[in-house]
A and B are shown apart, each in its own frame.
Chain A
């Protein structure tokens, strides 16, 4: 599957408190959460973001809480994938589990600028910065995770087991 969109660029250590501030966590409603996505780091984000857009972060993207509401808010706003030099581990696993594509690529992250047009081929991990005419290769997913991704996330993956087990 190919994803295409404009880049929203952030720095290192973008934490879950700025992705979705705790004051909004009194709900699990994905649309309500999405309305406050990135609010404490970039209040204009929700007005700018368009379906397909790509968030690019630096090191340790998604550090902080276990709150799955963070990748959920990002996904629900229409963001097609997140590219970063590295991810905090709970954010990474939450994204895999809920089916938000996350790609690790330090070079693509370092060279991307806000507003760049990018295209990502999820199957191969190829990232193309169309604005700059540069291509990159993201780290491949281990086979174990590919199975969860292929199933469409952990819910579908477990559903198979639960129903098979009767």
Chain B
């Protein structure tokens, strides 16, 4: 019996020929990640473990992205703890304000994750890197501390659900719509403790940006990891970011899946997930009349160049609705610069939007666009839990960049077609 890509990577990283779902392994970790919220706690635990030096400084990545540029004194202190640790331990991959981007946009762009690798991060959206054919999963701060001390992480091998996508995408439909639709189908705990392997002809022709968006939200279905078998598109992307070598693996044809879900993409409309769960997804046409106060285009889900281009195409020559605040947040400094060079920055500013420095910002209700009681936002982020973007009586509607941009112009949740 064969193995899935997830099983193969975990076997290879724990010195075994074969692993099966349910087994526990101590996996060697190729890259471990922390941020300004999770790393300070990990650093404290690291010290409690009696560790003095990180096991391998070249495998540690620390990113100041959540509450940066420091939003208040306390977050400045948190960043200082991380900075001092990074510098004293000579951590190879450390980004501070100015060079920092949102971790899950930044690491792939830097070529730090490659097919066949095993990555853990003290951030739930670490699962994003499955798009590159890596095993990547979110863990906690103490796990990060243990990995920094030992180079390893305990993991239970997950069973895999295969989701097969067929058919051509309608206009304005992208990775975000596919994943929202999928979570709507299987539910927010539909893949609890399991791996989600995305496959099928639609995925094969989906560009890397869309794949990253899809794997990013695997956690929103409760999954341990989202993953896509590496192919020509993966190779193209890797070549564009790094020249280092790696060893891709793919699922065996006779690998075992706990379940296979088939999705006919030709039927899928642009999706919107209503408050307060990502599984409340429905076609934008069925949302009804929902006026909005704010639109956010950014985050580790949809803050890439491709997303900004889609938004800019709709905003060009138009104005953001007078009642609406539009906040555009490029995922990384590179994307920010590219957006300015391509003239997108000008389009956003002329439309009346804010163009923010890269940060998580409002995605987790941190800063740069927190919502008041009773306010409603459409956002390209990944969570719409109660109070996620601010007051507990505010609401977040999740969507892709096209719906978010069109809604910003019209002042209500809208299909991008309404603008043409």
Contacts and interface: CB of A to CB of B under 8 A. Distances in A.
Interface of A: 13, 15, 17-18, 21-23, 25-28, 40-41, 59-60, 63-69, 72, 86, 88-90, 93-94, 97-98, 142, 144-145, 148, 153-155, 158-159, 161-163
Interface residues of B, number: 52
B140 A162 contact: no
B40 A28 contact: yes
Residue of B126, B138, B145, B154 with most partner-chain A CB within 10 A = B154
B74 A93 contact: no
A153 B124 contact: no
A95 B156 CA distance: 15
8 contacts: A21-B365, A28-B44, A63-B188, A66-B122, A66-B139, A68-B38, A144-B154, A158-B150
B142 A94 contact: yes
B138 A155 contact: no
B71 interface: yes
B142 A154 contact: yes
Residue of A18, A66, A142 with most partner-chain B CB within 10 A = A66
Contacts of B143: 93-94, 97, 154
A94 B139 CA distance: 8
Interface of B: 24, 37-38, 40-41, 44-45, 48-51, 66-67, 71-72, 74-75, 77-78, 121-124, 126, 138-143, 145-146, 149-150, 154, 156, 188-189, 192-193, 222, 224, 277, 364-366, 383, 385-388, 392
Nearest to B392: A40
Given A13-B277, A69-B41, A86-B189, A98 B150 contact: no
Contacts of B37: 22, 25, 67, 69
Contacts of A145: 24
A65 B49 contact: no
B85 to A, nearest CB: 13
Nearest to B370: A23
A162 B49 contact: yes
A27 B78 CA distance: 7
A72 B41 CA distance: 11
A22 B124 CA distance: 14
B146 A23 contact: no
A94 B277 CA distance: 23
A89 B385 contact: no
Contacts of B146: 97, 154, 158
Contact of B41 (A28, A89, A158): A28
A43 to B, nearest CB: 9
Nearest to B142: A97
A60 B187 CA distance: 11
Contact of B139 (A18, A27, A90, A142): A90
Contacts of A28: 40-41, 44, 78
B50 A163 contact: yes
B145 A155 contact: yes
Contact of B188 (A17, A60, A161): A60
A140 to B, nearest CB: 14
B142 A90 contact: no
B273 to A, nearest CB: 14
A89 B77 CA distance: 30
B222 A88 contact: yes
Contact of A67 (B38, B48, B145): B38
Nearest to A154: B142
A32 to B, nearest CB: 9
Nearest to B126: A66
A25 B386 CA distance: 16
Contacts of B122: 66, 68
B29 to A, nearest CB: 14
Contact of B24 (A66, A86, A142): A142
A158 B386 contact: no
A118 to B, nearest CB: 24
Contact of B386 (A40, A98, A153): A40
B189 A90 contact: no
A67 B366 CA distance: 14
Given A17-B386, A28-B41, A89 B189 contact: no
B225 to A, nearest CB: 10
Given A68-B141, A148-B154, 6 more contacts: A25-B66, A28-B78, A68-B41, A98-B142, A154-B143, A159-B50
B140 A97 contact: yes
